[in-house]
Amino acid sequence: MRIAVVDDDPIELMLLRELATSFDDSLEFDGHTTVQAFIEARPEQYDLVFLDRRIPPHDEYQETLPMLASAGYQGRVILMTAHDSGVRNCDYRFELVGPVNKLELLEPSRLKALIHSG
């Protein structure tokens, strides 16, 4: 499974990769510090995306989710946040999960369930 972590903080990629490969060493992780970088990297190659709520220059999911949809992404998107502002239900061709508090992702059993639930 190929996973993208779209977060301006490179520590998120490092933490998620280390925790996830401790229970499944077949997972491949790539990090992108902007949504645009993720889009330019051919989103269709990813099965799963961990997307930060506030990734500069964007403030909320309402700005970034349409960008993923316009790029044709059709996998799963796990919304990460330290503060849940809520997400309006939207009709995308990808599956939305969350938002999930970033602290929950540090629990290996929770992370494993999120990765393998699709």
Model confidence at 117, pLDDT cuts 50, 70, 90, reads confident
Each residue of 85-115: pLDDT tens digit?
Answer: 555 556 777 877 878 888 888 899 999 999 9
Task: Please provide the size of the chain in residues.
Answer: 118
Starting at the earlier edge strand, list the strands of the sheet with 95-101.
Answer: 28-32, 2-6, 48-52, 76-81, 95-101
Alpha helices (H) in 24-87, listed in sequence order: 35-40, 61-70
Question: pTM score, two decimals?
Answer: 0.86
Evaluated on CA atoms 94, 109, 2, 49, the torsion sign reads positive
What are the sequence ranges of the domains in the chain?
1-45+63-83
pLDDT digits (tens, 9 = 90+) for 22-56: 999 999 999 999 999 999 999 999 999 999 988 88
